[in-house]
Structure 1
Amino acid sequence: MTASAATATPASRRTRGGRRRLFWAVLALVVLAIGLVVAEFLGRSIAQSELEARIEQQLPDGVSGHVDATIGGGLFLPQAISGRFSDIQLHSRDLKVGVVPLDVSTQLSGVQLGATPQAEHVRGTITLTPEAAAQAIGIPGVVDQLEFGDGQLAFVSELNVLGIPVGVDVIAGLGISNGQVMLDVQQTKAHVGDLSVDPNSIWPELGDGGLPVCAEEYLPSDIEVTGLEVRTSGVVASFSSDNLPLDEAHLSARGSCPAA
């Protein structure tokens, strides 16, 4: 018997056994942690891909494009188990409504799953290039391309004077009044010398307020436009909704423009 074997006491053997058990316990915890990280990553990735596919499949008629989804709000697995996601962000750079291209960013808060999923709060923006905004903004009587500046837009309308069409330069702003997009006519000038024009002679419906602009057909009827910003690069529209059902019936029901 060697000296080392002779000196191996039951206490030292128990110590080595305890260290082995501790090692395997730590290893099991590491493996479990890695498994949870992998499950978290894969679960979030799969859920985001499935969400993107479902949204694209359920886009209403006349709407097309790719949607990127990001599920935030902390760890994915606890949210999935509870059936409630605190933050989901959607972004589409190539969405089209008809032939009008849109860049749309949307944030959904408090998304509750179930037979009819619902979001407590929806906030977002729609960004339109000048070309897209010119197609989307339904201003009656425009006979020339819209031009965009900081807070203003310019265009040419037409006025009939004694049976003769007269072009009128118009400078106006865009705003929101009671959820309705309104055109605020600020300046008009006819193409006949220095003749100025009363805007009401072009748009009798103008009255003392602004001119309603058709924009409802680009959003679901349960979503309201809350702000508009005119830039040289186009138009940025803000929108929102509270307690919005996220089923196909509600999201497909787009607004309509009043008959002319």
Structure 2
Amino acid sequence: MIAIVVGAVVLLAVILVVADFGVRAYAEGRVRQAVIDNLPASVTGDVDVSIGGGPFLLQYATGTFSQVTLTSKNLQVNGVPAEVQVVAHDVSTDTSKRVPRASASLTLDQAALNSFLSIPGSNEITLGDGTVGYSGQFQVFGLTLGYDATATAAPQGPDVLLTPTGAQLSAGSASFDVSGALKAVVSKPISICVAQYLPAGVQITSIAPTNGQVTVTAEATNITLSEDALKTTGSCD
């Protein structure tokens, strides 16, 4: 008798696990299709969805999923390729409710970054290991001299703050010392407003350049994950 009861319990557990897995996979597929169907016209690509946390059926019964992860390695935004991952926490089954906390990471290569972002006075941004490179010009004694500079990048509110770490003359030579003038020019941090690229309420938390690409992470609280909300961006006023 005990063996029969134990066998029945094990069988029931297996059935629940299989059912939970199947329902979770079905729900992930539905969410994935809904996300793809509601992407703005300027955004194309495929998206993978993963619903994490404990047993799916229990989460569904409580009306909240502890973690929902959206991942895309081939997304294009206005033709710019990007790798994107969004992690939303405590997501209600009622899609009209706000998400208490969400984070995202965006990875762009150097060409993609240059297609929509620029540094005033510079023709191209270059990405190195922990550094951002740019070029510029300055005048001294009536001469216009070009330079190549490197900087670190960090978020500062709606801006990306570039703090120069070094510079050198990019071409030509002078018969006098211009190092003082060059140092004075590149000692000034550069602020680049990026609020117009971010949904309202989203804040950049880190910027990590490596050779040829950069990964930007951002966070938001109490956010609505609807098309209209995500299309409403900040401003640089």
Q: TM-score, with normalisation over the residues of structure 1?
A: 0.75
Q: Could you list the runs of 5+ residues in structure 1 that have no partner in the other structure?
A: 1-18, 203-207
Change (3 A) 1:125 1:254: same
**Corresponding position: 1:43 with 2:41:** no
Counterpart pick for 2:201 among 197, 219, 222: 222
Shift of the alpha carbon at 1:219?
Answer: 2.8
Q: Are the equivalent residues in 1 in contact too, given 2:119–2:134 (CA < 8 A)?
A: no
Q: Are the equivalent residues in 2 in contact too, given 1:171–1:188 (CA < 8 A)?
A: yes
**Corresponding position: 1:246 with 2:216:** no
Shift of the alpha carbon at 1:162?
Answer: 9.7
**Corresponding position: 1:67 with 2:47:** yes
Distance, in Å, in 2 between the alignment partners of 1:121 and 1:149 is: 31
Percent identity for Structure 1 against Structure 2: 28
Distance, in Å, in 1 between the alignment partners of 2:6 and 2:183 is: 79
| Structure 2 counterpart SS, 1:254 | coil
1:80-139 deviation digits (Å, cap 9, x = unpaired): 122101111121111222122111122211112325132211123212222223334331
AA aligned opposite 1:176: P
CA RMSD of aligned residues (A): 3.1
Give 1:110's aligned residue. 90
Q: Are the equivalent residues in 2 in contact too, given 1:63–1:98 (CA < 8 A)?
A: yes
Q: TM-score, with normalisation over the residues of structure 2?
A: 0.82
Shift of the alpha carbon at 1:159?
Answer: 4.8
Shift of the alpha carbon at 1:170?
Answer: 2.1
AA aligned opposite 1:49: G
Q: Could you list the runs of 5+ residues in structure 2 that have no partner in the other structure?
A: none
Q: Are the equivalent residues in 2 in contact too, given 1:118–1:246 (CA < 8 A)?
A: yes
Q: How does 1:1-260 map to 2 (within 5 A)?
A: 23=4, 29=9, 32-114=12-94, 116-143=96-123, 145-159=124-138, 166-190=145-169, 191-194=171-174, 195-196=178-179, 197=181, 210-257=189-236
Shift of the alpha carbon at 1:167?
Answer: 3.0
Considering fraction of residues, name the structure with more strand.
2
AA aligned opposite 2:91: V
Give 1:10's aligned residue. none
The structure with the larger Rg is 1
Shift of the alpha carbon at 1:73?
Answer: 0.6
